Amino acid sequence: MKPFSSVMDLAQQAHESSIVYYKGHPVGTIAALDNSVPNLNYDQCFTRDFAVSAFVFLMQGKTDIVRNFLKLTLKLQNHERQLDCFKPGTGLMPASFKIEKRGDQELIIPDFGEQAIARVTPVDSCLWWLILLRAYVRKTGDADFAYDPDFQQGIRQILELCLRTRFDLFPTLLVPDGSFMIDRRMGVYGYPLEIQVLFYAALRAARELLVPDRKKNQAFIIAATERSSQLVYHLRTYYWLDLDRLQQIYRYRVEEFGSNVDNWLNVYPESIPSWLTEWLPSKGGYFVGNLGSARIDFNFFSQGNLLAIITSLASEQQSLDIMSLVEQRWDDLVAKMPMKICFPAIEGRDWETTTGWDRKNLPWSYHNAGSWPMLLWLLSAAAQKVGKPELAKKALAIAEKPLRQIIGRNIMTVSKDD
């Protein structure tokens, strides 16, 4: 194998090695180049993972694989109304799929959560699919692809799934624990930030992709427009945390009834964690991880905050404040292998009760404040958007050596297997 001049060459080689083919055509990428644990689902193409790969393919002009993925997953989407609790709901996109060879046949095996660890149904797959469809149309200029009746129906069904009548009175999207990138029990049930930001981006994408002069689309366009406006106000107002907001929470009165109250979720000031007052800088802020009845999850969740900048859900000042926080708390949030999925880790008895003694979610590992190299693209994009590209360069310089070792080792493993 020829030597690589940079970590980007290694990454490109790994990316090409991960491509999945169906009937001779590229349709996605597998989750990881790791064959050491055959019982895991690393050989699957995950919707949320491929969305990131797809952005790279689009930037490189390799649009066919993205087009093929969008068409294939649309066919896997359930289009029939189901009353059976064991069948995927109308509009749901699969968490993942794999191509299985049986003799001369190639079969597509989708997973809507019925085979996943802990059997959690994905909420984010259909949201990422909408965002990716918009990215494909913007890159190629092929609006007719999205205007196809099948795609228009697919978009409407996703919106119906997310906007339908529910046991809720907030503009946010209610989801169970472990139903998105943090796919293990981490106490993120309810209204996790990441899902709300993806929901906002998906609503804007759907509004742009639906053909306005088609009668079936009109109600959905109006609903998506209204909901996205309500959602951005809700998140910018109630999820935002800086020192001024923290002082307001400290002064909250509790057990208030009515519409004109400050503490509308009845959050007790005593629930503010001790680490927060020293950690939150005087200049800077972030979106909290979750809100619910008598509950604020004060943890910093990286993907949700960085996506909020990229999608313009965060205001211009909030975007600057988030990156200012990242810069001032660099050792906590970025450290040696950028970037941590959340901060701080859940430890001790909290870890036991929240994760259910999950050994894969030990403190400072995996989803429990573990370091995720995948977050580098989000950090880089957010840094460039706020005019601080030096932060992206700093993070990439830190990550280059360990990434080179990891990617190189996985490529060598794949080469040996071939």
- Render 167-179 in DSSP notation, one character per residue: S--SSSPPB-TT-
Backbone angle region of 116, left / alpha / beta, with phi > 0 → left and psi within -120 to 50 → alpha: beta
Q: What pLDDT, on a 0 to 100 scale, did the predictor assign at position 4? A: 41
More confident residue, 57 or 396: 57
291 and 207 inside one domain: no
175 and 292 inside one domain: no
Cβ neighbours around 368 below 10 Å, total: 24
179 inside domain: yes
Q: What pLDDT, on a 0 to 100 scale, did the predictor assign at position 411? A: 59
Of the three residues 238, 268, 299, the one that is the final residue of a domain is 238
Contact call for residues 113 and 183 (beta carbons, < 8 A): no
More confident residue, 5 or 318: 318
Segment 356-375 mean pLDDT = 93
Total domains in the fold of the chain: 2
- pLDDT greater than 50 at residue 3: no
Q: What pLDDT, on a 0 to 100 scale, did the predictor assign at position 39? A: 59
- Render 249-294 in DSSP notation, one character per residue: HHT---S--SSS-S-TT---GGGS-HHHHHHS-SS--EEEEEEETT
Q: What pLDDT, on a 0 to 100 scale, did the predictor assign at position 2? A: 43
194 and 165 inside one domain: yes
Segment 81-95 mean pLDDT = 78
- pLDDT greater than 70 at residue 412: no
Q: What pLDDT, on a 0 to 100 scale, did the predictor assign at position 40? A: 72
400 inside domain: no
231 and 246 inside one domain: no
Instruction: Report which residue type is found at 214.
Output: R
pLDDT tens, residue by residue, 217-270: 999 999 999 999 999 999 999 999 999 999 999 999 999 898 888 899 999 999
pLDDT tens, residue by residue, 40-61: 778 899 999 999 999 999 999 9
- pLDDT greater than 70 at residue 37: no
Domain that holds residue 311: 242-387
Handedness of CA 303, 381, 158, 76 (dihedral sign): negative
Segment 411-417 mean pLDDT = 54
173 and 283 inside one domain: no
353 and 217 inside one domain: no
295 and 203 inside one domain: no
- Render 135-192 in DSSP notation, one character per residue: HHHHHH--HHHHHSHHHHHHHHHHHHHHHS--S--SSSPPB-TT-SSS-S-SS--BS-
351 and 293 inside one domain: yes
141 inside domain: yes
Of the three residues 195, 214, 238, the one that is the final residue of a domain is 238
Provide the CATH number for the domain around residue 164. 1.50.10.10
145 inside domain: yes
Average pLDDT, the chain: 90
Bond prior to 281 in cis (omega within 30° of 0): no
Tokens read off for 126: 């259909």
Q: What pLDDT, on a 0 to 100 scale, did the predictor assign at position 318? A: 98
Of the three residues 238, 255, 270, the one that is the final residue of a domain is 238
Distance, in Å, from the CA atom of 313 to the CA atom of 206, rounded to the nearest integer, reads 16
70 and 215 inside one domain: yes
218 and 323 inside one domain: no
For the chain, give the percent of residues with pLDDT over 90.
72
Q: Which of 291-295, 338-342, 414-418 has the lowest mean pLDDT?
A: 414-418
Tokens read off for 349: 């008895």
| 60 contacts: CB under 8 Å, gap ≥ 6 | none
More confident residue, 36 or 292: 292
Please count the helices (runs of H) and the strands (runs of E) in the chain.
Answer: 16, 9
pLDDT tens, residue by residue, 57-84: 999 999 999 999 999 999 999 777 666 7
403 inside domain: no
17 inside domain: no
271 inside domain: yes
Cβ neighbours around 119 below 10 Å, total: 9
166 and 55 inside one domain: yes
Banded model confidence at residue 339, pLDDT cuts 50, 70, 90:
very high
Q: What pLDDT, on a 0 to 100 scale, did the predictor assign at position 342? A: 96
1 inside domain: no
pTM for the model: 0.94
Distance, in Å, from the CA atom of 308 to the CA atom of 327, rounded to the nearest integer, reads 17
Q: What pLDDT, on a 0 to 100 scale, did the predictor assign at position 35? A: 64
Contact call for residues 280 and 246 (beta carbons, < 8 A): yes
User: N- to C-terminal Cα distance for the chain?
Assistant: 13
Using DSSP bridges, classify how beta strands 45-46 and 25-29 pair: parallel, antiparallel or unpaired.
unpaired
216 and 340 inside one domain: no
In terms of Cα–Cα distance, which of 190, 163, 144, 154 is closest to 78?
154
| 370 contacts: CB under 8 Å, gap ≥ 6 | 340, 341, 364
- pLDDT greater than 90 at residue 391: yes
Segment 137-162 mean pLDDT = 96
Distance, in Å, from the CA atom of 417 to the CA atom of 122, rounded to the nearest integer, reads 31
Banded model confidence at residue 116, pLDDT cuts 50, 70, 90:
confident
Distance, in Å, from the CA atom of 174 to the CA atom of 168, rounded to the nearest integer, reads 8
Banded model confidence at residue 414, pLDDT cuts 50, 70, 90:
low
Residue reference for tokens 């597509």: 108
